[in-house]
Structure 1
């Protein structure tokens, strides 16, 4: 079995200067290609049509082809120091590139009039040297393409007649993006995650080009990770490199995919995050995993895309948001793309909750540094934001001033933030709010008084807050249809309820 050996960076990390100039290789390398091809075509035209071309013109073209080929070799070497290339292919490409430079210099030298005066038979070497330089050029260009795009880049989509004529094997192991007719029964890795990796990541992380020692073309290589360790931590997307690099600013050198390449959409990032948080299984179906509120509309969009091709609307509805709430059926104006981009720059995910109604879900699941100042951007989408998740961020009561302006807000996650009773007073105007998560906050009994003003509130999370069993029991009595999760154990609440019922008898 052939063992794939990857060229890693030197023991000492190459300097920024080396990598800076190395990245000019793709630019410089096109110069010798053009010069040598022009020289070859002019000589071919001279031989076939007997057209005379100035010797000085040919010599000048050959000189610059040799100079640019030499520079391309130097910059190519500097680029290779970054590592992540197949060793055999890289070595072959390097020597062929050197061959281009060497024979370009020889062709120029023997064509040079001064050398012809010194060595009478030098001209006999000219056409062979030029021919060899062109052959090396074609071969080196092919190998360079293999390093950049993979060994099957030219032949990947070759039709069968051409494959037969070229002696290529039949297409095998082609990745097929299968339509999802029933999203609940879809294989999460095979039908959802793998298509994302194939279209956005595998071009640079495959068997021939494994940047940073990482391959994402099959489960075994994904599990293996990259040169610095695992690429994901099952159950924890926050510390998984696979998602962290996608959420860096696009101008960051470590952002993936690199700037200029097709980027992952917010929905694709949300799907990768959800897959990792659910254990990064390679064989489970959607129905086997917990589908939370954040990912449900994203899965619904996958199913809707298939429904246009024949999937039943019933199957689509299973993954979509519940239509029970009137606010979910409201149609609002489309969001301003510039405002959406501004929100994304803060690290927020902006996902379509309903494309038909232009409603949005905004999540800070991967933006833990989201702050009160950044929350000032939210009211620009006061009509479109229906679900908001800013849990485990830096927001305080000051952010609720801005959140209170989201007039169509139905779900609000504030868990593990610094909000207090004072902040809850500002939420009284959210007439559509049905879900509120206050887990791990400093909310007390006083804050519950504010909840009674939210007439449509159906669910509230109060686990690990400072709410007492007595006040919680009173809230349940005041709002019997409100589902209160956490806050106190059932036994304490029952005892507090009994105490409240006995108090009038004692008076």
Structure 2
């Protein structure tokens, strides 16, 4: 039996040196190593294996830490074997951890976890081989090694659960955010990402090369492309993944994780649909926007009222075709009331409001004919906070006798001419927090004086655009199709009939002097691109609008791809180039060939009857999805077995993220007698520094080659 134990110990001692060597190799070369599948399985067993060395090594170390154990012969025999077994498990666990780290883990927590694990392995082995020294000499190192084991576990938990996992329950709650302070991303979107996504996409654990714990990581995107595309629900990776069936491997969060609620999915969808801004405030959204509605019911913007709610029956009775009464937010006893329909308004109906005099907080009488009504009725509402009388029919006498309502915080009198006496009456309303006086005929001196009289009131006099020149909206382009056979008519229009629309179809930028003025539909008979702008006296010229038009051309006798597209974007392979189907402005539509690693290269065979004078290439540009213009276009012709470079051009590169668009690169072929033509498009290899994915490889997407 003793000999058997000695043999086992000898084997385990030799295995320690195997683990030393293997772990050293992985530590140095894990980033460039190709991990076989069976080792990946071992790596993913790391969370299972790590419990064994913790128990065994600590059990062995207790021999040197506890003084009484020195005298226990049984413990003295078993402790070294526990330490030897624990050191071996430590080595296996370290190797598994190093393999697992190759699956998208990175960051400071990983660095310290790896090295603390190595020290535990080395320390356990050291203690085993030097166990015959005096126990007292090893007491302090034993305590230090046990402390190292605790730190290893702590940093491991930081990788798995986040850096604040251990002490999170002791942290004080963050101060409540008000609706005015709330930001769409920071306070609506980020909490969802943090609770449902960051565990797999943060510093230390970056699955799919996507970090979601910092804004820069979200803007950069991951291995599969950009995280979100502003306003594009169909092509935003976030929206695609959360809407996949639960059984799909790419569904997020994974099916073994807590899933998004319907409300959370609605928030993420609304955020992307509204532009996916990372700094927009909730208060900047329209009140009817769904994100604003959700935020208004979430953040600290709900005043508490101590009066009773009106019965549902009474509310139903007060609601008519010319009057609407609602709680200011669900379950609130406070009410807001709006009148609408000038012809239907009856001043006597204001007496109906006596039944809700206590609950009425907000009253809207915009545009109502109040000239024959006394405004003293407003004093009967003790809790009225918001009164809107924009463009209402009011006499100067009514305004000069305007009631001073102590509870009123917000008053709107836009569109009403105010006399000096009326202005003096308003200046006495010291409790006002907001005052809106658009188009009230006040002079600059009167405005300044009112601001001085109400220094604590936020006064909005509206926008004075008398000395501001505004830009025109761009014209509209209408064409029945992009691909045509004989000719195509293009129409331009603008909502302001007096503007001049200038355009070009020769590739130049339209200007206000020399470019043709649009007068009637434009007929085109060849491929090209129309660019148009609107101009008018007293206005800034509009932004440019453009559209491509493509004449379906000659089909080569034979054609083939010399390089293969990415398997995700391979359309109908080479047939895509001559199927006479213009791809949608969506790179995932299945109508495009996508290239990133290799250049696009196609070979076209022509016979003697096919005389070609122009070659055009239809491309897709979408900088948000890393799809850029090719960095170089090469067109090579063959005649009598000899090749000639017809064109070698570097198209103009994008300088900012633009809208998704089709583009057309056209090239003339002076000598049209070619037997064979090769077309090569080189994708950008490193995205520019201004792009969120700076340094990543870009894409080239092509769907048609047109020969005419």
Sort the TM-score into its range (normalised by shorter chain).
0.3 to 0.5
Q: Which has the higher strand share?
A: 2
Q: Which has the larger radius of gyration?
A: 2
Q: Which has the higher helix share?
A: 1
Give me the TM-score of the superposition, normalised by structure 1.
Answer: 0.46
Give me the TM-score of the superposition, normalised by structure 2.
Answer: 0.34
